[in-house]
Amino acid sequence: MACGALAGHVRDIAARRGWPVAVRSLPALLHNRPQKITESAERAVVCALRSGRAVALAYADCGSYGGLDDLCARYRVRRLPGLHCYDVLAGPERVAAMFAAEPGTYVLTDFLLRSFGRAVLAELGLDTHPELWPDYFGHYRRLVWLAQQPTPALAEQAERVAAMFGLPLTRVEVGVSRLEQELARLVEGIL
Amino acid sequence: MNPRSAEELLGQLYDNTLTGNGPVVLDLTNAGLAMGLDPETLLYQALIPALEEVGARFERGDFFVPEMLIAGKAMAGALEILRPLLAETGATTIGTIVMGTVKGDVHDIGKNLVNIMFEGAGFHVIDLGVQVAPEKFVDAVREHQADIVGFSAFLTTTMPMFKANINALAKSGLRDQVIVMVGGAPVTQEYADVVGADGYAADASAAVVKAKELLQRRRVGAHA
């Protein structure tokens, strides 16, 4: 079960590594209502377990504040480590250092850049209420793009988003190698 | 608009606060005052119930953050008009509360909504903003002789600052003089108990109820 924000990478990695897994994704937009992540994941986990499949969650804590850990304990499944996918992609120490250096850091991923209009502008009501921008983002001081598979189009989009914020953009090439390592650990127990 | 009675005006004020129609809320607030309604009536019979309903709808998943924000802003606009009038009419301040998002955390949407509810309920709110260091909380509690200090955190990584803030209050000799409340998305009653806070609430409406309860208990205790 993968968060929609990671599912593409998870599928690619699983296919490349030849893992005999089916990747089911849950909507990435659940991150805007993280309290719903656990209940959605639970429905999917229960459904998969009932059909006799072994399950692993390609989720970090993702704002469930322990909800996914409780779920994992109840159904004896495992999830990715870390608080957010940023930890999985860049490493928790690197992410912690980033926020320690500047708490007002807004983190972008490839997925978030691709879906910025829908996942951020529309979901936060900024398309209809642009006056809310300072309420959401007024305290941010910089953007950091954790680039997994950067393309010129994504780079352009990152610049556009940075221009919307009016903030400096830092690009950090993280790739998908850490994600791949963590996925390998995750599926080790179920393959 | 153009309400023909006080009841109709209050109904419209409630509805437009609920939907976050700021300009209309301002017009209706002014119209209500012109009609002879007192500020407390506008506040307690329309604005606050509307924001409480916003909170309830958010809990049910019917509203999301933007709806809460525009409703909160609409009510904040009305409060700008009502605040000086409430002071003029001798409406007493329930208590003074110092609020802030803890050091290392820049998230303040929830805190700002709580501030609006506290103000609406008659508290004098001193908002220190975001990334507030322990010594700033201490200074503000001392300067404003705060009854309550509220710490907000949105990140699990910044929640430990609650304890740091409480320790700073203790070190400065102020801990026993001020009620400490904590809140924020990752915070639970259990965590509040662990860090030694006096109160926790899961949402803005509950925070006001809790604050009043804690204040009352302290004042009764002081006079016992």
Nearest in space to A19 (alpha carbons), one of A186, A151, A191? A191
Q: Which pLDDT score, from 0 to 100, does residue B148 have?
A: 98
Predicted confidence (pLDDT) at residue A126 exceeds the cutoff of 70: yes
**Residue B11: how many other CB atoms lie within 10 Å:** 15
Q: Is A57 helix (H, G, I), strand (E, B) or coil?
A: strand
Q: How far apart are CA A62 and CA B50, in angstroms?
A: 31
Give the number of other CB atoms < 10 A from CB of residue A159.
13
Distance CA B119, CA B117 (A): 5
Write the residue in B66, B108, B185 that is nearest to A124 by C-beta: B66
- CB–CB contact B156 A140 (8 Å): no
Q: Cα distance from B60 to chain A (closest Cα, Å)? A: 11
Asked if A190 contacts A54 with a C-beta cutoff of 8 angstroms, the reply is: yes
In sequence order, which residues have a C-beta less than 8 Å from that of residue A97 and are 6 or more positions away? none
Residue in chain B closest to A103 (alpha carbons) equals B104
The residues on A that touch B, with CB distances below 8 Å, are 32-34, 36, 61, 63, 65, 83, 96, 99-100, 103-104, 123-126, 128-129, 132, 135-136, 139-140
* Residue matched to tokens 């016992």: B224
Measured CA to CA, the distance from residue B206 to residue B191 in angstroms comes to 17
Interchain proximity B157–A129, CB inside 8 Å: no
Measured distance CA(A61)–CA(A68) in Å, rounded: 6
Minimal Cβ distance to A139: which of B65, B106, B185: B106
The per-residue pLDDT string of chain B (224 residues; one tens digit each, 9 = 90 and over) reads: 688 899 999 999 999 999 999 999 999 999 999 999 999 999 999 999 998 899 888 878 888 889 989 999 999 999 999 989 988 877 778 899 999 999 999 999 999 999 998 988 889 999 999 999 999 999 999 999 999 999 999 999 999 999 999 999 999 999 999 999 999 999 999 999 999 999 999 988 899 999 999 999 998 877 66
> What integer is the mean pLDDT of A146-150?
96
Most B CBs within 10 A among A40, A129, A141, hence the mutation to make, goes to A129
CATH class of B96-223: alpha beta
- Amino acid, single-letter form, for residue B167: N
Q: Are A175 and A150 in contact (CB under 8 A)?
A: no
Closest C-alpha among B197, B198, B196, B201 to residue B185: B201
* DSSP, residue by residue, A158-188: HHHHHHHHT--EEEEE--SHHHHHHHHHHHH
Domain assignments of chain A as residue spans, ordered by start = 2-84+177-190, 86-173
Is B156's Cβ below 8 Å from some Cβ in A?
yes
Torsion of CA B32, B44, B188, A62, to 10 degrees: -20
Residues 39-68 of chain B with CB under 8 A from chain A are: 61, 64-67
Distance between CA atoms of residues A35 and B23, nearest Å? 33
What CATH number has the domain spanning B6-88? 1.10.1240.10
A2 membership: H or E segment, kind and range:
strand A2-3
CA A59 to chain centre: 7
Nearest CA to B41 among B3, B75, B2, B82? B82
DSSP-based three-state secondary structure for B211: helix
pLDDT(A112) > 80: yes
Where exactly are the structural domains of chain B? 6-88, 96-223
3-state secondary structure of B124: strand
| Residue B88, amino acid | E
**Interchain proximity A103–B105, CB inside 8 Å:** yes
Partnered with residue A56 across adjacent β-strands are A78
Which residues from chain B sit within 8 angstroms of residue A33, using beta carbons? 61, 64
CB burial of B107-118 (b: ≥16 within 10 Å; e: otherwise) equals bbbbbbbbbbbb
For residue B67, which residues of chain A lie inside 8 Å, CB to CB?
125
Shortest alpha-carbon distance between residue B124 and chain A (Å): 22
Distance CA A172, CA A32 (A): 24
Could you give the C-alpha distances from B63 to A28, A69, A185, in angstroms and in order? 19, 27, 39
Task: Give the closest of A63, A129, A139 to B70, CB-based.
Answer: A129
Chain B contact set for A34 (CB, 8 A): 185
Return the closest-CA partner of residue B148 out of B125, B178, B119.
B178
| pLDDT value at residue B96 | 96
Residue A6 Rama label (left phi>0; alpha psi -120 to 50; beta): alpha
**Distance (Å, whole) CA B199 – CA B40:** 27
Is A103 close to B108, i.e. CB distance below 8 A? no
| pLDDT: which is higher, A190 or B185 | B185
The rounded mean pLDDT for chain A is 95
Please judge whether B186 and A99 are an interchain contact, meaning their C-beta atoms are less than 8 angstroms apart: no
Q: Are B187 and B155 contacting, i.e. CB atoms less than 8 angstroms apart?
A: no
